[in-house]
Amino acid sequence: MATLTVSRFDASRSAEAVEATLLQLQKQELIKVRDAAVVTWPQDAMKPKPRRATLAITTP
């Protein structure tokens, strides 16, 4: 079963903390992440800045 999860944070540091937590859970084999991205949008920017998360992506 595939699941899509989207979370919104007021600060990019919060998103980075969740990314680190997900990485730890994946290392403990408690979750499997197939793909992940972090999107930040600074207030002075014209558009958002996406990047692939640093999680070690698992294979299906």
Q: To the nearest 10°, the Cα dihedral for 60, 34, 24, 56?
A: 90
What pLDDT digit, counting tens, does each position of 37-57 carry? 888 888 899 998 888 887 655
pTM: 0.70
What pLDDT digit, counting tens, does each position of 22-41 carry? 989 988 999 888 888 888 88
CA neighbor of 36 nearest in space, from 48, 26, 51, 24: 51
